A and B are shown apart, each in its own frame.
Chain A
Amino acid sequence: MPDRAIPSACVALERRSEGRCRVEEDVVVLFERTRDRLLRYSMSLGLSAHDGEEVIQEVFLALFRHLQRGRPQTNLNAWLFQVTHNLALKRREGDRRKQQTLAELSAAAPNPQARDNPEDQLLDRQRRVRLSSVWRALPEQDRQCLALRAEGLTYREIAAVLGVSLGGVSGSLARSIARFARAARR
């Protein structure tokens, strides 16, 4: 499970007022812990790695200001995903031409890990194409639910990030996973 708390007691108000504290350091530690997950999530929303990196830099600068102003630190994990979600969608809207709804190419490329015979490779490839088309055919919000779950968020956190109900989250995840199960059986 991902870390819920700020990495050190450094941002506690009393320590900050003593001047010994460096909020920057806390932000950098959190960045190190969550950047890969946030980047993958923003790429799953259709951003390029480059745009994703920029969005995440903005997210952590916003976090810095958030902490500096003494704002609530409860569940920063969900906070980070939520701000990433919002900024990534905003960027995507603002820059439609950069939108890549995830490489068609990668689905068609052979799996480098499959070192079996050509027949197995073909089966593996067909299966991957099937799974990939399931993923791309999902409604956007279902994809977002899955991606957030894959990045380790709890249902409650996903609900907060996407602004949907808990039941909405579990219903969406169950529906989507059932679709993957069907595709695998075919």
Chain B
Amino acid sequence: MNWESHLSDEELLLAADGELSAARAAKAAVHLEHCWSCRARRQELEGAVADFVRTYRDELSEPVAPVAGPKALLRARLAELAAVRRPWWRRGDALPNWRYAAVACLVAGIVAAGYALGTLRVRTAHAPRSGVVLPEPRLTPGAVVRIGREQVCEADLPKNHMVPVALQRRVFEEYGIRDPRTDAYEVDYLITPALGGADDIRNLWPQAYASTVWNAEVKDALEDRMRDLVCRGDLNLAVAQQEIASDWIAAYKKYFHTERPIEPGRFP
């Protein structure tokens, strides 16, 4: 760029945006001092920048809401993320890659039958004043991926990855939970991926956290126990999936031979 030659639109814009190197900026400044037409053009471009900024704001389809609400939501989600590190299938994380290869299939029919027989009693008996102890079978019948015992027992644990926020929100919406507190609920798998559960809204429900007796940690213990039994060959995988989906509390009582959850650290 010679100081005598006129500046292009691009150079004028680069100069106005402070994007020219020091040497080029100095030359441009000298030229602008001398050249009325370049100064007029610069002014036109500045006017167009102002027009654009106004258009850009006008074109937004909705006004930007105050930051406070989204900030509170983020804070709650971060608190949840930063909380106790739990195994990947317990944190509402995504499934291993083999889920892509496998076809998600419903076990709703079997589940509904089991549920009708045994669950309602338990559900009423253990339902907390607030929160969800058992999933609603209509909303969360359970869904599994079509894999066998070997794959379940030999699957490598994949890298962590959140259940998409949008999916979590849909689960909360389905359950009519407005403004969910993430320290109160965990969007949990009904049939754990460790037992072949699918990453599917039909297999996700908002489980109340620590405030209830039959909470997420108790269910985790059951899942561990059942996976051990399945992998040892003492329990059929399909039966395990069915039992956990139809009434996990009943399954807990059955496999731990107890009416109450066993305190952590006291598992036999």
Binding site for B on A (CB under 8 A): 22-24, 27-28, 31-32, 35-36, 39-40, 43-44, 48-49, 53-54, 56-58, 60-61, 64-65, 100, 102-103, 106-107, 111, 128, 131-132, 134-136, 146-147, 149-150, 154-155, 170-171, 173-178, 180-181, 183-185
Query: CB-defined interface of B114-131 with A at 8 Å, one 1/0 digit per residue?
Result: 000000000000000000
Q: Is B177 an interface residue (CB 8 A)?
A: no
| Pick from B10, B79, B162: contact of A174, CB under 8 Å | B10
Within 8 Å CB of B55, what residues of A? 128, 131-132, 134-135, 180
Whether B162 pairs with A61 at a CB distance below 8 angstroms is yes
When the two chains form their complex, are residues A44 and B60 in contact, meaning their CB atoms are under 8 A apart?
Answer: yes
Judge whether B78 and A28 touch: CB under 8 Å: yes
Contacting A at CB under 8 A, from B68-86, are 70-71, 73-75, 77-79, 81-82
In this complex, how many residues of chain B approach chain A with their Cβ under 8 Å: the count is 45
Give complex CA distance A155, B14 in Å: 9
Residue on B nearest A146 in the bound complex, by CB: B52
Beyond A28-B75, A64-B81, is A36–B64 a contact (Cβ under 8 Å)?
yes
With CB as the reference atom, state the residue of chain B lying closest to A43: B60
Contact A178 to B71, CB < 8 A, known contacts A48-B62, A132-B59: no
Q: Are A174 and B13 in contact (CB under 8 A)?
A: yes
- A35 contact set on B, CB distance < 8 A: 67, 70-71
Chain A residue numbers with a CB within 8 Å of B56 are 40, 44, 135, 146-147, 150
> What are some 17 contacts across the A-B interface (CB < 8 A)?
A39-B64, A43-B60, A43-B62, A44-B56, A44-B59, A57-B165, A60-B78, A61-B81, A64-B78, A131-B55, A177-B45, A178-B9, A178-B48, A180-B55, A181-B47, A183-B51, A184-B51
Contact of A107 among B48, B58, B73 (CB under 8 A): B58
Query: How many angstroms from the CA of A64 to the CA of B10 in the assembled complex?
Result: 38
Beta-carbon contact of B62 and A49 below 8 Å: yes
Residue of A nearest to B14 (CB): A170
Given contact pairs A177-B48, A177-B49, A181-B44, A28 touches B71 in the complex (Cβ within 8 A): yes
Asked if B101 is at the interface of the complex by the 8 Å CB criterion, the answer is no
B77 touches which of A39, A53, A61 (Cβ 8 Å): A61
Asked if B8 is at the interface (CB within 8 A of a chain A CB), the reply is: yes
Q: Given A23-B82, A64-B82, A131-B51, list of 6 further CB < 8 A pairs?
A: A27-B78, A31-B74, A49-B61, A102-B61, A106-B58, A181-B47
Tell me the residues in window 35-57 of chain B with beta carbons closer than 8 Å to chain A beta carbons: 44-45, 47-49, 51-57
Task: Give the chain B neighbours of A39 by CB distance below 8 A.
Answer: 64
Which are the 10 A-B pairs with shortest beta-carbon distances? A181-B48, A180-B48, A174-B10, A24-B78, A103-B61, A49-B62, A174-B9, A131-B55, A102-B59, A177-B48
Could you say which residues of chain B place their CB within 8 Å of the CB of A128? 55, 58
Asked whether B239 is an interface residue with its Cβ less than 8 Å from the other chain, the reply is no
State A40–B65 Cα separation when bound (angstroms). 11
Q: How far is the CB of A37 from chain B (nearest CB, A)?
A: 9
A102 to B59, CA, bound (A): 6
Name the CB-closest residue of A to B57: A40
Interchain CA distance A14-B75 in the complex, whole Å: 24
Q: Cβ of B19 < 8 Å from any Cβ of A? A: yes
B10: A residues at CB distance < 8 A? 170-171, 173-174
Instruction: Given A24-B82, A154-B19, A170-B19, verify A131-B60 contact (CB < 8 Å).
Output: no
Whole-angstrom distance between the Cβ of B13 and the nearest chain A Cβ: 5
In the complex, the chain B residue whose C-beta lies closest to that of A128 is: B58
